[in-house]
Structure 1
Amino acid sequence: MTDVLIAGSGPTGLTLACDLALRGVSVRILDQRSGPHRESRGKGLTPDSLEVFGRLGTEERMSATGARGLVLRKYYDGAHVNDTPDTGGGLLIGQWQVEGILRERLAGLGVRVEYGSRITGLAQDPAGVTARLADGGSVRAGYVAGCDGGHSTTRELLGIPFEGYTEEKPTMVVGDVRAPGLSREYWHQWFTSEGGGIMLCPMPGTDTFQLQASPETDGRGEPLPATAQGFQRLFARHAGVPGIRLTGAGWLSNWRVNVRRAARMREGRILLAGDAAHVHPIAGGLGMNTGIQDAAALARTLAAALTGPAEDDALDRYEAERLPAAERVLADTSARHRRVLAAVREPGRGTEAGMR
């Protein structure tokens, strides 16, 4: 029997797995996907997250991969208005790069992600948890950590309510694109007096930009899904930079405001972390980072439960610490999102309004 079974190999699950393995805890980490992705998704690490990775022995590699001090270049109605240095002290790095570095660290500790492994059932007793898998097999573990994202199978199997709201219409389309000829020294942010805009952020160590834009709409004003052709039309409309063609579009996604948290983060020997426990607006880039902090707290919790006499007390402390933290992040990021929406209507202002 393994000590801890982790569902999900995003930044939260991988951080937890590395932390536990370094503490001598036996770990298995499952992911229902067929393999790793190469999507930028969450693209920034805060100093608190870098501190966690320093303890795990991965901070230097991440700092060498990412970039600091990116300048936000603002345009309004096509004209360059001003430049704003990012002074937040964080690191710009793609989520897939973070995950890759953590996977390598975990492999060095003797643990590899088991892809194509989907959990279909969970049954627990006083001695542990049995996870049933889609292939008919099962895994026995002392504890299970659900780090499997906003559509968490773990949370759904436990029947834990995901309280809050999701806006019906997408607010933004996102994706990864190439833009040959566009300077990679800036995070370009174009906004217009008619409303809407497009942003292209250069991802370090790649030739791609992360694109974020107001969605196209149809004749009835309804948002259209993200497409490569739509990205080019949005760029022509909001940026209007001649000679730039967006190519190699990948990770086409529609993003909508989602403000939810799990009613509880623990059900006996099964615990939730990261997006499985809370989702919120992207303003401030706190999503991936909050999951990393969850993972650090959960590693301490599980290590204490495995070695100490007061198992329930240790497990209860995790929820007592992280559920209020999730509440604060939901409120904070919602306020940041409102500030950004107001700021982009003013020439020269942009996403920095949500950074603090």
Structure 2
Amino acid sequence: MSDIPVLIVGAGPTGLTLGIDLARRGVPALVVERADELFPGSRGKGLQPRTMEVFDDLGVLDAVRAGGGRYPAGMLWRDGRRLGEHHLTDPVETTEEVPYEGWMVPQWRTQRILRDRLEELGGKIAFGREVTDVTQDEDGVTAHFTAGPPLRAQYLVAADGGRSAVRRAVGAGMTGEAVDPLPMLVADVRIAGLDRDNWHMFPPREGRDEFLTLCPLAGTDDFQLVTRFAEGTRVDLSPDAVRRVVAARTHVAAEDVTEVLWASDFRPRAALADRFRAGRVFLAGDAAHVHSPAGGQGLNTSVQDAYNLGWKLGAVLSGDADPCLLDSYEEERRAVAADMLGLSTRIHRGEARRGGATLQLDLGYRESSLSAETRTTPGPVRAGDRAPDGRVDGVRLFDAFRGPHWTLLALGTDAPEPPQGVRLVRGPSHRTYGTGLFLVRPDGYVGWAGDCAEGLGDYLGRFGRG
């Protein structure tokens, strides 16, 4: 017998998102974290519009909005003089179909918000539990730790980062490349006398690569510092060294860096796991794909992994769906992760600009085995696509979608009364969707679309909803 249905290794954004999604479905899961506390740094500070939609569904949108703010315009500096604004990306124009813009929240705060929601739903995090090995058989998975007894689960999800111990334990390879050969430093600092109206950018001198940026972190008194060093440099993470590099590359004096709250070094790379599933073990987040921070795709892609996997684990563990449903996780998410890795790398190297593709709104699963488009003349929204927001006879669609259920949209056509676990929204032909029946999955993607109800029951039957 298993101790728990799902063991989630890693209390980062991926693991916490998955824990919340399972908890709201009534699926007991335990999140274990090797550290003694949540990650303390701001690292993944950018939340894309699609991630904001996920957070709406999971019940944390208001807290996320209150805990952050919009990105400021960049300001270029040279020799203590402002050279002018620099815009990294075009602003997102919100519409009825795209209600949320990107939002800046330091990662440590995002994780605290997710932890609070997880605990509100009855979920738990066990800190100080470092996984050393994972073994599995036909009936379950056993995780072994540096301290404490082993734990057995029906399924295990590795959300333990780019150096994932779980990934190594199950023998999953990871293929990648260095995106930038130069070492980098990221730190959270407090600075006296520097305005918070701009993302301050200090370009390198001619012939050098040692740029530095200071981004005011919305909702805090902190700045996120990012800088790059010459090849072969050993990055010193001490507070005094951080102060010295700020003074050397900006007009800010060392003593004006009043606090260094957190610092880390890294070399940007792009890597993709050869597989996202090994038996009863699933890889998600950085354990499955490692991004350059350029373009703000890593944390957001990771949250989408968890959101994709959560409803599928819930359906299988409740007995509503055959376990083969879980095969679709790798089928759907690995291709998306590969695309996002390529985009992040191109942005880092200056070969692409942040734009519509970074918002993650156009990502979908049209080629998935779970997508069934049966209409003779499909419209702009097809099976596999993200289901946009909008209004149908006064009902806001995201309000209708919110929760762990499926939703059937009947637009300009008749629909049968749906089975339990499927909400029905009826209305006239819609300006975005057009005419037809649209069955929206629990993760907000259209699973099935048809001109009439023929075939709908068979499709729902795959998930215990027929």
| Fold shared by both chains (TM-score > 0.5) | yes
Question: Greater shift after overlay, 57-66 or 135-144?
Answer: 135-144
For the 8 Å contact 1:12–1:292, the answer to whether it is kept is yes
Cα distance change on mapping 1:244 and 1:162 into 2, 3 Å: same
2:234 to 224, 232, 243: 224
Compare relative contact order (CA 8 Å, sep 6+) and give the higher one, 1 or 2: 1
Is 1:130 the counterpart of 2:142 in the alignment?
A: yes
Q: CA RMSD in A?
A: 2.4
Question: Greater shift after overlay, 184-193 or 19-28?
Answer: 184-193
1:38 to 37, 40, 43: 40
Offset from partner CA, 1:104-159 (integer Å, 9 cap, x none): 11111112210011222222222221222222402121110000000111101101
| % same residue | 38
Asked which structure has the greater CA Rg, the reply is 2
1:205 to 219, 230, 233: 219
For the 8 Å contact 1:4–1:141, the answer to whether it is kept is yes
The structural deviation recorded for 1:77 is: 5.0
Cα distance in 2 for partners of 1:233, 1:123 equals 48
Q: Aligned residue pairs: how many?
A: 344
The structural deviation recorded for 1:68 is: 1.2
1:255 to 262, 266, 273: 266
SS of equivalent residue, structure 1 residue 271: strand
Question: Greater shift after overlay, 135-144 or 240-249?
Answer: 240-249
Offset from partner CA, 1:209-235 (integer Å, 9 cap, x none): 1100122x5xxx632313333333332
Structure 2 stretches of 5 or more lacking a match? 93-100, 360-466
State the TM-score, normalized to the length of structure 2.
0.69
1:95 to 101, 104, 107: 107
The structural deviation recorded for 1:298 is: 0.9
The structural deviation recorded for 1:277 is: 0.2
2:310 maps to what in 1? 299
1:109 maps to what in 2? 121
Offset from partner CA, 1:27-77 (integer Å, 9 cap, x none): 111001111232111111111111111111001100011001422212245
Is 1:145 the counterpart of 2:157 in the alignment?
A: yes
Cα distance change on mapping 1:131 and 1:180 into 2, 3 Å: same
Question: Greater shift after overlay, 36-45 or 140-149?
Answer: 36-45
State the TM-score, normalized to the length of structure 1.
0.90
Stretches of 4+ moved more than 6 A in 1?
A: 351-356
Is 1:118 the counterpart of 2:130 in the alignment?
A: yes
Cα distance in 1 for partners of 2:253, 2:306 equals 46
SS of equivalent residue, structure 2 residue 38: coil
Report 1:53-64 matches (<5 A): 53-64=55-66
Cα distance change on mapping 1:354 and 1:81 into 2, 3 Å: farther
Offset from partner CA, 1:187-210 (integer Å, 9 cap, x none): 111113423321111112322111
SS of equivalent residue, structure 1 residue 137: coil
Is 1:281 the counterpart of 2:295 in the alignment?
A: no
Structure 1 stretches of 5 or more lacking a match? 344-350
